[in-house]
Amino acid sequence: MITSVFLSFRFEELCVQRRVAIFVVLLNLCEMTSPQGMDELFWGRDHKDVNDWAERLTMAAEVHDLNANKLFKIAKLNLRGRAKEWFRRLQPVPADWTELRNLIVQKYGGIDADDIQMKMDAIKQEPLERVQKYFEQLDKLFRKGQIQDAEQRRRFLARLRPEIRKLCVVKTFVDIEELVGANRGRKSSGRTRQDTI
C-alpha cells in the first residue's frame, strides 16, 4: 500500500514537472516570436511575395539584434500551409537562414513580370464560365504583378465575353454616399464620370 501511494505521488510530481517544462518551452517560443515584425507568416500562396517576406523577416531580425540561428528558427516557425508542408518534405534540411531563404525563394519566387503578362494575356472568359470565376483568375495575377486599377479594368473588360462586355459601364464615384445612392437606384448627383476603356 505504501509503495503504490509513493508511486502515485511520484507520477503526479513528474506530470507537474513535465507540465512546467512544456509551459517554459511555450513561453520561450512566444518570447522568440514576439518582437515586432518577426510574426510575419508565409503560407506558400501565389499572391504572397516570398522575397518581400524574407526581406521583412531579415530586417526585423536586424532591428531586434537577433542572431542568424534565432532568425532561422523563427522563419521555420512562421511557415504555414503549403510552405510548411514543403519544408517538412525537404531533404536535406537547410542548415541555416541563408540556405532556407535561397531554397524558399527558388521554390516560391519563380514568376517575373513577363510571365505575369503572358498569363494575363492567355486568360479569357470561356463561353459558359461565370464572371466571378474569370475575375478570380485575373485577380490572382493582378495582386501578384501589382497591376494598377485602370490597367485591371482594361484587362478585365477586354477578355470578357462580348455579350457581357457590351452591357458593362464603368463609373468612378467621388465618395461612398454617391456609390450607395447609385446602388439604391437614386439619381446620381452628376459627380460621376464614365470611364472609357
Mean pLDDT on 81-90:
91
Each residue's pLDDT tens digit, 32-41: 444 566 677 8
What pTM was estimated for this model as a whole? 0.42
Write b or e for each residue in 139-177: b if 16 or more Cβ atoms lie within 10 A of its Cβ, otherwise e: ebbbebbebeeeebebbbeebbeeeeeeeeeeeebeeee
**Which of 21-25, 59-63, 153-157 bottoms out in mean pLDDT, i.e. has the lowest?**
21-25
Q: What is the DSSP string of 168-180?
A: ---EE-SSHHHHH
pLDDT of residue 110: 60
Residue 87 pLDDT more than 90? yes
Three-class SS state of 79: strand
Average pLDDT taken over every residue of the chain = 75
pLDDT of residue 30: 47
Class of domain 113-194: mainly alpha
Please give the Cα distance from 71 to 13 (Å, whole number): 36
Domain ranges of the chain: 1-34, 36-110, 113-194
The listed range with the strongest mean pLDDT (43-52, 120-129, 180-189) is 120-129
pLDDT of residue 43: 85
The listed range with the strongest mean pLDDT (1-5, 18-22, 81-85, 152-156) is 81-85
Enumerate residues 6+ apart whose C-beta is below 8 A from 37. Answer: 56, 57, 59, 60, 63, 64
Is residue 46 very low, low, confident or very high in pLDDT (cuts 50, 70, 90)?
low
Q: What is the DSSP string of 28-40?
A: HHHHHH-STTTT-
pLDDT of residue 85: 92
